[in-house]
Amino acid sequence: MSHTYEYARPALTTDCVVFGLDEEDLKVLLIERALAPHKGEWALPGGFVRVGESPDDSALRELNEETGLSKVYLEQLYTYGDPGRDPREHVVTVAYYALVNLIEHPPRSDTDAAKAEWFSLEDLPPLAFDHGEILKFAVERLRGKLRYQPIGFELLPPKFTLGELQWLYERILEQKLDKRNFRKKVLSFKLLKETGQFQKDVSHRAAQLYRFDRKRYQALAKQGFSFEL
């Protein structure tokens, strides 16, 4: 069933940069392409937008089909449309990014993706198409966002220590932060709630567990703040 239009149209796709944090470092989810072009190369999960399906819905569907991930909160990153970015034809792609708790999201491969895997940002394979550029921009956006919006809700378990939160910031910013300043600053936003519970089974003194104040988190995500480091 082919479709005919009066004027030629670029093809439209979506691509997703999914960041996850495990106990080692910040990782990104890639798929090994099972089909040409760039067969056998690593790429961002994504695919063609269907008529009647919003790009947002398309991105979620493709992500689920290719990696098994669902209920992921995607944010639009940027739309890439250079005519030469795909060897097949002119393909415009709407890129998204997402943060997930990697431990709760083991990837599973499916359909046209041969294999889905988490890669450390420190040790990436070459990426197909312009996906290297898209990933680089997503990392920049993530770092920028950290400075004026709260991040962590999606990457950390529901209860976490201030040390774990600092560790997350240090992994994303790739810089060591002063413990005292970090705590003072983070607590000043009144974003965290003490749970009254403490770490278990640790060899050092057990640290208190916090959780995010969801309402305050959403308000700050909207209104923004300034996290000077």
Residues in touch with its own copies (CB under 8 A): 2-12, 48-56, 76, 78-79, 81-83, 89-90, 92, 94, 144, 147-148, 224, 226, 228
CB of 123 to its own copies, least distance (A): 27
CA torsion through residues 36, 40, 44, 50, sign: positive
Least distance to its own copies, CB of residue 23, Å: 31
Using CA atoms, how far residue 143 sits from 16, 85, 149, 216, in Å, is 17, 26, 10, 21
Residue whose CB is less far from its own copies, 201 or 228? 228
- 47, 96, 154, 171 from 217: Cα distances, Å: 32, 21, 11, 21
CB nearer to its own copies: pick between 10 and 40:
10
Nearer to its own copies, 83 or 158 (CB): 83
Whole-number minimum distance, CB 120 to its own copies, in Å?
26
The answer to whether 40 and 128 are in contact (CB under 8 A) is no
Please say whether the beta carbons of 198 and 192 come within 8 A. Answer: no
- Nearest CB to its own copies, comparing residues 25 and 56: 56
Q: How far is the CB of 79 from its own copies (least distance, A)?
A: 5
